[in-house]
Amino acid sequence: MDVRRRAYKVPRPTAAVIHQEQQQQSQASGSAAPKASDALPLPLYLTNAIFFTLFFSVAYYLLLRWRDKIRNSMPLHVVTLPELAAIVSLIASFIYLLGFFGIDFVQSFIARASNDAWDLEDDDVDVDPPEHRLLTCPPSAPDHLIPAVTSAEDEEIVEWVIKGTIPSHALEEKVGDCKRAACIRREALQRITGRSLQGLPVDGFNYDSILKQCCEMPVGYVQIPVGIAGPLLLDGFEYSVPMATTEGCLVASTNRGCKAIYVSGGATSTILRDGMTRAPVVRFPSAVRACHLKFFLENPSNFQALADEFNQSSNFARLQSIQCSVAGKNLYMRFSCCTGDAMGMNMVSKGVENVLRYLKSDYPDMDIIGISGNFCSDKKPAAINWIEGRGKSVVCEAIIKEEIVKKVLKTNVATLVELNMLKNLAGSAVAGALGGFNAHASNIVSAIFIATGQDPAQNVESSHCITMMEAVNDGKDLHVSVTMPSIEVGTVGGGTQLASQSACLNLLGVKGASKGLPGANSRLLATIVAGSVLAGELSLMAAIADGQLVKSHMKYNRSSKDVSKVPHMNDLASNGLE
């Protein structure tokens, strides 16, 4: 469809509009800015009439007097007392009239000149501004706005942002100081919305570290508490697992699962596969042509040439496979590659662009519709990730001894096995689940993702998990496993380099690029995620089997808090977290 667009032109506020806005603001705040007309306790129209009459009458009088003086050859600079009074009145009434009618007119020129200096015309786009209203309802009581800027210079920039003469997104570039830009934007936002941002901290964050890579137009940062679960004994090593969450009892419950695993001898993990995917969609004039390219791409003898093209743009991205799917004239090509310690979305996308450029010369009728055709599939529930995997595919298992199931998890093996079958397997099948054959994998995945700077939106596919439970050793002990085919994590790039997130990665011993084999750190992080999910599954399933779910939620997740009576960790741990 051909969509015709007109460039958007942000209307520059006229003097009259500004004057009107100022009046409205004054009325709203109840504190009018002082004006010359305030000096006389008369209605505005009367004051104006007086000064108009005064101005023109004394001007007329003075002109008459000067004409007489010129005719009589008298010196002009010798003035009588009435003439002096007339001159004073003329100046006074001129100042009044200029203040009332003229200042805004003059200011519009000053503002225009200043804006030119800021090169503010950059992204003025000429389309009709959409009709919009402010947010929801106004605050019931006016918010107490704590100013985020103090200097007069910043005050002036705030006003420009409010008027729209400086785009908010350009502040970093214009003021050349990321923290200052955040404060100015924050102040403008407070004034535009009339709502206070008190409680959202702005100090104590390095805004330079997020510029052009993590977050645009910052006004502060959200604090999320980080708790520690563990030690998680996994593959013979102990890990203290950082979890960023505001869900009460989640950390305590995972901690209980870690304890059950630890005293049973630990968990073991295996990486089944490691490859990030990107799937562009291309269109041909016919389905036959789409199939030609499919056969070409899937022919093993063409793989090396394609891999050479793909691998050009990175030292770490190495093409593994190309899986194709045809829909009529359209072809979806799912490229998979290892990405070292990076989560890898940028890397794989660059490689795909190289290959598309290469293919275009042999397939000139190929119309590239999009670099991502959703066959990838990123940040959406999709069977392709559940079946084929994306990122790291991990299986993690442990055998929990009978007495540990009783003492730590407060239930028994048979009850857990039955609950797992009826809830995580049959129950999820009844619900038509896609990758959701577990109790609450996403709880643990999200908390670790946020703590370690992963992309939280990839929690969607990273939480795909099937939890299996089986009685072993003559039915006495419990074999528990989680299989997670698409854990998408990295230890370099994105949010991993920010100070807090980097500290959490450091705690796990997986900060940054691995010294030895590229990708070792990110793979280890994926196994830690799976191991923690195993712990979380054990604890929640036990809580449900023991009938603690609702009781614990009511007791610890909805309480109006009295911090002097914080519950003991063991009480919290038996909570269910669904």
Q: Which is nearer to ligand ADP, 230 or 391 (CB)?
A: 391
DSSP letter assigned to residue 32? P
- Contact between 154 and 204 (Cβ < 8 Å): no
Among 154, 274, 309, 341, binds ligand ADP (CB under 6 A): 341
Smaller CB separation from ligand ADP, 187 or 309: 309
CA atoms within 13 A on the CB side of 436: 17
Amino acid at 442: S
Q: Does 492 bind ligand ADP (CB under 6 A)?
A: yes
Contacts of 498 (CB under 8 A, 6+ apart): 206, 209, 210, 214, 453
- Output 257 or 519, the one with its CB closest to ligand ADP: 519
Q: What residues are annotated to the active site?
A: 247, 379, 455, 553
Tell me the closest approach of the beta carbon of residue 178 to ligand ADP, in angstroms. Answer: 20
453 contacts ligand ADP (rule: CB under 6 A): no
Our finding on whether 345 is near ligand ADP (CB under 6 A) is: yes
372 close to 279: Cβ distance less than 8 angstroms: yes
Q: Which one of the spans 294-302, 324-332, 354-362, 486-494 is the region binding ligand ADP (CB under 6 A)?
A: 486-494
Pair 343, 276: CB distance under 8 Å: yes
Among 234-242, 343-351, 503-511, 529-537, the segment contacting ligand ADP (CB under 6 A): 343-351
Residue 260 to residues 17, 88, 232, 437: CA-CA distances in angstroms?
Answer: 69, 93, 10, 22
Closest approach, Cβ 512 to ligand ADP, in A, equals 8
Least distance to ligand ADP, CB of residue 484, Å: 19
Cite the DSSP H helix spans in 299-440. 303-311, 345-362, 383-388, 402-407, 413-419, 428-430
CB of 462 to ligand ADP, least distance (A): 14
Calculate helix-pair angle for 520-545, 499-508, nearest 10 degrees: 80
Cβ-contact 172, 208 below 8 angstroms: no
What is the spatial distance between Cα 204 and Cα 192, in angstroms, rounded to a whole number? 25
Nearer to ligand ADP, 90 or 450 (CB): 450
Question: Does residue 347 touch ligand ADP according to CB under 6 A?
Answer: yes
Which residue's CB is nearer to ligand ADP, number 165 or number 514?
Answer: 514
For residue 324, give the H/E element and its range.
strand 318-327
Asked whether position 513 contacts ligand ADP by CB under 6 A, the answer is yes
d(CA 36, CA 548): 73
Question: Nearest approach, Cβ of 343 to ligand ADP (angstroms)?
Answer: 4
Beta bridge partners of 276: 337
Q: SS in 3 state form for 366-386?
A: CEEEECCCCCCCCCCCCHHHH
Which of 344, 389, 436, 453 is the binder for ligand ADP (CB under 6 A)?
Answer: 344
Taking CB under 6 A as the criterion, the residue among 275, 389, 493, 495 binding ligand ADP is: 493
Stretch that binds ligand ADP, among 351-359, 513-521, 546-554, 561-569 (CB under 6 A): 513-521
CB 373 within 8 A of CB 280: yes
Contacts of 5 (CB under 8 A, 6+ apart): 127
Nearest distance, CB of residue 208 and ligand ADP, angstroms? 17
Q: Which of 340, 373, 435, 485 binds ligand ADP (CB under 6 A)?
A: 340
Q: Is 209 in the site for ligand ADP (CB under 6 A)?
A: no
d(CA 384, CA 30): 61
Q: Tell me the closest approach of the beta carbon of residue 496 to ligand ADP, in angstroms.
A: 9
We find the least distance from the C-beta atom of residue 493 to ligand ADP, in angstroms, to be 3
Considering the rule CB under 6 A, would residue 351 count as an interface residue with ligand ADP?
no
Task: Tell me the torsion sign for CA atoms 138, 141, 142, 144.
Answer: negative
Q: Does residue 303 bind ligand ADP (CB under 6 A)?
A: no
Which of residues 281 and 345 has its CB atom nearest to ligand ADP in the complex?
345
Q: Report which of 471, 493, 492 is spatially closest to residue 480, judged by C-alpha positions.
A: 471
495 binds ligand ADP (CB under 6 A): no
Q: How many residues bind ligand ADP (CB under 6 A)?
A: 19
Helix runs in 194-271, H state only: 250-263
Binding mask 255-294 for ligand ADP (x = CB under 6 A): ----------------------------------------
Contacts with ligand ADP, residue ranges (CB under 6 A): 314-316, 339-347, 490, 492-494, 513-514, 518
